Amino acid sequence: MSTKQKTLLVQGYEVVIGFETHAQLSTQSKIFSRAPIAFGAEPNTQACAVDLALPGTLPVMNKGAVARAIEFGLAVGSHIAEESIFARKNYFYPDLPKGYQISQFEIPVVQGGEVSFFVGDEKKTVRLVRAHLEEDAGKSLHEDFIGQSGIDLNRAGTPLLEIVTEPDIRSSEEAVAYAKELHKIVTWIGICDGNMQEGSFRCDANVSVRKPGAPLGTRREIKNLNSFKFMQQAIDFEVRWQIEQIEDGFEIQQATVLFDPDTGETRAMRTKEDAADYRYFPDPDLPPLVIGRDWVARVQAEMTELPRVMAARFVADYGLPEYDATTLTQSKAMAAYFEAAAKACGQAGGHDWPHCRQHHQQQRSQASL
Ligand code: ADP
Ligand code: MG
């Protein structure tokens, strides 16, 4: 298959998208405290002194969160940093009692890597910049209190892995296919429950447009896309809006925008902060995160067979086209069903198998896998 990408154009413009995805890690307790992270509890019943930022409390790293970050890095072919640093990202918001979020800035735990998937029958690869560990903030509740807001700190300190791509995505279809593939990877390896309604997997899409060959345009970041359907609608609207602005002679201003599913439109929430506005600095309460190669090797040894490894095995063992092997490894259940059926038909590579394949190809025209 050719890896060369054809240029997709919308009204003569090339669409450029980079993704930042927050995957909530499926640990028992929070990233720096012992409070539980179960969803849907009574407000403020799952926040301890550390999450409330009471004076004198100190964060303690949750090893399970680090193990899950390592697992993710191995799944997407990243470098696992032997030493990474936690930093304070400073901003004021009522649901952030410390006045800063603990995140990773200059040296993240997971570096590089890539995610490959099919868009139609075209194979696409998106490069990852990094994935870093951070804590979630609490929640402001505006609806339940007349004229007042409530603060629920149950979510404060929930472990997140923020996965950042290069601006390699070229259409809303590719964006949705990327997000679905990433969702498949994190749920397959079991580091995230993937529940989008509950916010366990939320995507921010950075969108810009440019004339082919021109430098990158100014981006606007669509925040908190928590359904694949809204993701596609939001990006399509945003692309049309940006092209219209440029055609009308306006310049795009860098901004953070929200998608409103009721109107199908995106609207600016705030002008975008730059990294410098957050006054990042290394958190003096947390030493550097040191990960020995032996730990990485142990995590690797315990990992389940990855979908792309399984797909490659299906190609080698059963002579399947790559597209078919990829389709069959969209879910663990389907892959297991296929292998059971293949075994029932005869051994992998055995003389009975080509007959099964022919049968499978006939079926394909009738049933959609
Ligand atoms: P920040 O952390 O301020 O949001 P980054 O430089 O880390 O900024 O980029 C965030 C995301 O935006 C990345 O996924 C990156 O690929 C993407 N991105 C950067 N520039 C553009 C652009 N001009 N158009 C579309 N996406 C972009
Ligand atoms: Mg961002």
Which residue(s) pair with 19 in the sheet? 205
What pLDDT, on a 0 to 100 scale, did the predictor assign at position 255?
94
Return the residue whose CA atom lies nearest to atom 17 of ligand 1: 18
Residue with tokens 């198998």: 353
* Residues in contact with 87: Cβ distance below 8 Å, sequence separation at least 6, in sequence order: 102, 103, 104, 105, 106, 280, 281, 282, 283
Residue 96: strand, helix, or coil = coil
Return the residue whose CA atom lies nearest to atom 5 of ligand 1: 164
Count of CA atoms in the C-beta half-sphere (13 A) of 164: 15
Residue positions counted in the chain: 369
What pLDDT, on a 0 to 100 scale, did the predictor assign at position 348?
55
What pLDDT, on a 0 to 100 scale, did the predictor assign at position 353?
54
Burial of 290 (0-12, 13-18, 19+ CB in 10 A): exposed
Spatial separation of the C-alpha atoms in residues 172 and 177, rounded to whole Å? 9
Q: What atom of ligand 1 comes closest to residue 273's alpha carbon?
A: 3
What is the greatest pairwise CA distance in the chain?
A: 74
**For 119-128, b where at least 16 C-beta lie within 10 A, e where not — what string?**
beeebbebeb
What pLDDT, on a 0 to 100 scale, did the predictor assign at position 6?
64
What pLDDT, on a 0 to 100 scale, did the predictor assign at position 368?
44
Least Cα distance to 65 among 118, 126, 110 occurs for 110
Least Cα distance to 76 among 137, 128, 152 occurs for 128
Least Cα distance to 285 among 36, 20, 60, 95 occurs for 60
Based on its alpha-carbon atoms, the radius of gyration of the chain, rounded to whole angstroms, reads 23
Q: What atom of ligand 1 comes closest to residue 19's alpha carbon?
A: 14
Which residue(s) pair with 20 in the sheet? 164, 204
Residue with tokens 């663990």: 332
What pLDDT, on a 0 to 100 scale, did the predictor assign at position 351?
43
Q: Is 164 in the pocket of ligand 1 (CB under 6 A)?
A: yes
What pLDDT, on a 0 to 100 scale, did the predictor assign at position 363?
52
| Per-position pLDDT tens, the chain of length 369 | 444 556 788 899 999 999 999 999 999 999 999 999 988 899 999 999 999 999 999 999 999 999 999 999 999 999 999 999 999 999 999 999 999 999 999 999 999 999 999 998 899 999 999 999 999 999 998 887 788 899 999 999 999 999 999 999 999 999 999 999 999 999 999 999 999 999 999 999 999 999 999 999 999 999 999 999 999 999 999 999 999 999 999 999 999 999 999 999 999 987 767 778 899 999 999 999 999 999 999 999 999 999 999 999 999 999 999 999 999 999 999 999 999 998 898 755 544 455 555 555 555 544 444
Least Cα distance to 68 among 26, 40, 20 occurs for 26
Kindly give the distance from the C-alpha atom of residue 167 to the centroid of ligand 1, in angstroms, as a whole number: 7
Spatial separation of the C-alpha atoms in residues 66 and 131, rounded to whole Å? 11
Q: Is 206 in the pocket of ligand 1 (CB under 6 A)?
A: yes
Rounded to two decimals, the pTM is 0.91
Least Cα distance to 283 among 110, 130, 83, 59 occurs for 59
What pLDDT, on a 0 to 100 scale, did the predictor assign at position 136?
98
What pLDDT, on a 0 to 100 scale, did the predictor assign at position 357?
54
Residue 256: strand, helix, or coil = strand
DSSP 125-175: EEEEEEEEEEE---EEE-SSSTT--EEE-TTTT-EEEEEEE-S-B-SHHHH
Angle, vertex CA 249, rays to CA 248 and CA 253, nearest 5: 105
Q: Is 126 in the pocket of ligand 1 (CB under 6 A)?
A: no
Candidates 103, 115, 162, 219: which one to mutate for ligand 1, based on the most atoms within 8 Å of Cβ? 219
What pLDDT, on a 0 to 100 scale, did the predictor assign at position 276?
81
Least Cα distance to 361 among 314, 321, 317 occurs for 321
